Amino acid sequence: MFEKVLIANRGEIALRIQRACREMGIRTVAVHSTADETAMHVRLADESICIGPPAAKDSYLSMPAILTAAAISNADAIHPGYGFLSENADFAAKVEEHDFTFIGPKPEHIELMGDKIAAKQAVKDAGIPVVPGSDGGVADVAEALKIANEIGYPILIKATAGGGGRGMKLAHSADDLPECLSTARKEAEAYFGNPEVYMEKYLGKPRHIEIQILADGFGNVVHLGERDCSLQRRHQKVLEEAPSPALNDDARQKIGNIAAEAVRKIGYRSAGTIEFLYENGEFYFIEMNTRLQVEHPITEMITGLDLVREMIRIANGAPLGYEQKDVRFSGHAIECRINAEHPETFMPSPGTIGDYHAPGGLGVRVDSGLYSGYTVPSHYDSMIAKLIVHGTNRNECLMRLRRSLSEYVIDGLDTSIPLHQKLMGEVDFVNGDYDIHWLEKLVGLKE
Ligand code: MV4
């Protein structure tokens, strides 16, 4: 097993990865920018190395700085967490070139899934249902009009190099299409440096449901069920739950097995997530994430598996050691993302924490690097904590979540705790009756 792992990330996920390492007897190296000298992930690591100034491009995104830190500290492996360099195929390749192990997928799979057209084709060939649309990129307006006529309006235009929703354009009719196409191309070029776009039938009221998978290097693959991530604002997830209130056991097993089988066919290794839109009982693939995800804890709570530990074992060359039938699902889990931002205006609210008290008790987990006196820097993402609650069923989970939210004290800055408390009182949410647009309607600040 690795003796020392460098964690190329910050905040709660750096801590989360340290915890798995410590339980496995692996020493940890934290890296940090000058803005993170007092961060908890630095304080709790066995060693820490400053890798640059506050701007992420000069620190957490700097491959030379991170590779140098790994060399200086004599680390065996690097875990990238989520965000930053986690889905950078070049980084994964460089890590291996420098004789460190990348705790994640092979570079070729990161690259494949980063190209949304290639990804869609690959999973389609492997048996996953996809959204009807263009077969690859669209060349010109004439071709676009022809395809649109076949699949019907509205049509969504997406960037090949995109993802996460940026640069998508919705065409309601043939009149809209030429302008949408040209705007989409310009934005794709500006945001992603690649003007290629493709077209899909627009789904109006879907849920966002994603399947977690784990794959070792020997063709063993399991799925760990789904997460419902429909509660989002401006493509930022706000609350996630597992299992989805929209699925029954039959639908769950069916899509889970399809996802696992496809991942096996592709030869994927490590943890990964297949994202679907789900509408009228049908699943439509949209993207695959080749990283550990923010919301992975809810899957851990319902399966009892430590996903980071599994990623480390797999990267070290170990077989999974269990099969699909050994994966047991138990109860219900919900994660509330807590951001340093105003609960109504969503304005970022960096600052210094005064009193701090995290909730606890049965079924309650808080993943966070916060402490009283800590100053939340303004340079990074506003997510400062995740409150994750497990119950034997959804109702118990909700009661426990209300109780936990009311215990949570984070003084000194605005947080999204009041937003979550508001959610807990919404009939549609309590009934599990929501789609990807529901939260934006509730908070009344539609894009
Ligand atoms: C869609 C869609 C409707 N129809 N594709 C947004 C992020 C990107 N990963 C895919 N996205 C969407 N693709 C078709 N064919 C609606 C969205 C979408 C969305 C998807 C998941 C979660 C939240 C969303 C919010 C707005 C739009």
The 10s digit of each residue's pLDDT in 47-100 is 999 999 999 999 999 999 999 999 999 999 999 999 999 999 999 999 999 999
| Nearest-atom index, ligand 1, CA of 230 | 22
Q: What DSSP state is assigned to residue 25?
A: T
Residue-range domain boundaries for the chain = 4-103, 132-201, 207-443
pLDDT at 106 over 80: yes
Summarised one tens digit per residue, pLDDT across range 274-300 is: 999 999 999 999 999 999 999 999 999
Query: pLDDT tens-digit profile of 145-164?
Result: 999 999 999 999 999 988 77
Asked if residues 388 and 420 have their Cβ atoms less than 8 Å apart, the reply is no
DSSP string, 416-431: SHHHHHHHTT-HHHHT
pTM to 2 decimal places = 0.97
Binned at pLDDT 50, 70 and 90, residue 447 comes out as: very low
Give pLDDT tens digits for 12-50: 999 999 999 999 999 999 999 999 999 999 999 999 999
Is the pLDDT reported for residue 124 higher than 70?
yes
Contact 40, 33 (CB under 8 A): no
| Ligand 1 pocket member 155 (CB < 6 A) | no
Mutate to test the pocket of ligand 1, among 147, 168, 232 (most ligand atoms within 8 A of CB): 168
In 165-245, alpha helices (H): 177-192
Q: Atom 6, ligand 1: which residue's CA is nearest?
A: 165
What's the CA-to-centroid distance between 204 and ligand 1, angstroms? 9
Decide whether any atom of ligand 1 lies within 6 Å of the 171 Cβ. Answer: no
From 10, 269, 291, 313, the catalytic residue: 291
Q: Find out whether the beta carbon of 203 lies less than 6 Å from any atom of ligand 1.
A: yes
For position 82, what pLDDT does the model report? 98
For residues 406-418, give the mean pLDDT: 98
Phi, psi (degrees; rounded to nearest 5) at 248: -105, 175
CATH number of 132-201: 3.30.1490.20
Tell me if 1 sits within 8 A of 289, measured CB to CB: no
DSSP-derived letter for residue 88 is -
| Contact (CB, 8 A) for 287 and 211 | no
pLDDT at site 164: 75
How high is the pLDDT of residue 428? 98
Distance CA 251, CA 65 (A): 46
Residue 275 CA: nearest ligand 1 atom is 9
The finding on whether 286 has its CB within 6 A of some atom of ligand 1 is yes
Encoded tokens for 161: 């190099």
* Sign, CA torsion 246/250/256/262: negative
Confidence class of residue 446 from pLDDT cuts 50, 70 and 90?
Answer: very low
Q: Tell me the CA–centroid distance for residue 124 and ligand 1, in Å.
A: 18
Q: Rounded mean pLDDT of the chain?
A: 97
Residue nearest atom 14 of ligand 1, based on CA coordinates: 202
The pLDDT of residue 159 is 92
Tokens of 31: 């890296």
CA-nearest residue, atom 12 of ligand 1: 165
- The verdict on whether 291 is a catalytic residue reads yes
Q: Domain 4-103 belongs to what topology?
A: Rossmann fold (3.40.50)
Beta bridge mates, 294 = none
65 Cβ below 6 A of ligand 1: no
Query: Which residue's CA is the nearest one to ligand 1's atom 10?
Result: 165
Spatial separation of the C-alpha atoms in residues 173 and 345, rounded to whole Å: 34
**Does residue 157's CB lie within 6 angstroms of at least one atom of ligand 1?**
no
Q: Is 287 in the pocket of ligand 1 (CB under 6 A)?
A: yes
Q: 3-state class of 336 per DSSP?
A: strand
Strands (E), 269-382: 270-279, 282-289, 332-339, 351-352, 356-357, 364-368, 375-376
Under 8 Å between Cβ of 413 and 342: no
User: Ligand 1 centre and the CA of 366: distance in Å?
Assistant: 29
165 CA to centre of ligand 1 in angstroms:
6
Residue 343 has a pLDDT of 87
**202 touches ligand 1 (CB under 6 Å):** yes
User: Which of 198, 232, 235, 443 for mutating ligand 1's site (highest number of atoms within 8 Å of CB)?
Assistant: 235
Q: To test the ligand 1 pocket, which listed residue (227, 277, 279) has its Cβ within 8 A of the most ligand atoms? A: 277
What confidence category does residue 445 fall into, taking pLDDT thresholds of 50, 70 and 90? low
Q: What is the torsional sign of CA 112, 116, 117, 120?
A: positive
- Which residue's CA is the nearest one to ligand 1's atom 24? 436
Q: What percent of the chain has pLDDT over 70?
A: 99
Write out pLDDT tens, residues 159-169. 998 877 788 99
Residue 129: which pLDDT band, with cuts at 50, 70 and 90?
A: very high
Domain 207-443 superfamily per CATH: ATP-grasp fold, B domain (3.30.470.20)
Beta strands 101-102 and 77-79 are parallel
| Tokens, residue 64 | 């030379």
In the reported structure, the alpha carbon of residue 205 is separated from the centroid of ligand 1 by a whole-number distance in angstroms of 10
